[in-house]
Amino acid sequence: MSTYVSKEMRAELDAARIATLKKASRLRVEMGDNYFKILKLWNDGFSVEAETTPQLRGLVDIYDGAKHLYQCLIIADEEEGGEMRYEFKRNTAAADKAPLDFYRAPDAPIALLGVED
């Protein structure tokens, strides 16, 4: 039995796999004003569709829908099966408020209320 698959058939299979990944993913990578669907995300990087995504490089932001997840510095890794893989040089979790430079006790009051005379 032969396991040979023609180039045309492999291209069709890759296109179907990528279409399925694009439908299932809510993740996107944003570079400047442009954003692109992320097909897969893992600890050290992510992949996007190679055919429709230009070469990404440098500082990008990763979102899950409207939620900002990470700000990353990336480098291109390799293209395989219609996917372009990128690795993180730096991956910083995004926060919705500035970090504190002091310790805040868990039972500390949120605000001080003044008493009017």
Cα(40)–Cα(107) distance, integer angstroms = 41
- Domain count across the chain: 1
The CA-atom distances, in angstroms, between 99 and each of 18, 71, 94 are 38, 16, 11
Cα(115)–Cα(34) distance, integer angstroms = 52
- Give a yes or no: residue 61 inside a domain: yes
- Give a yes or no: residue 39 inside a domain: yes
Helix (H, G, I), strand (E, B) or coil at 63: strand
- pLDDT (tens digit, 9 = 90+) per residue, 47-80? 998 888 888 889 999 998 888 999 999 998 888 8
- Give a yes or no: residue 50 inside a domain: yes
Domain that holds residue 76: 26-93
CB-facing half-sphere around the CA of 75: CA atoms within 13 A: 3
- Give a yes or no: residue 5 inside a domain: no
Q: Please state the pTM of the whole predicted model.
A: 0.69
The DSSP letter of residue 115 is: -
- pLDDT (tens digit, 9 = 90+) per residue, 73-94? 999 888 888 889 999 999 988 8
- Give a yes or no: residue 113 inside a domain: no
- Give a yes or no: residue 64 inside a domain: yes
CATH number at residue 69: 2.40.10.430
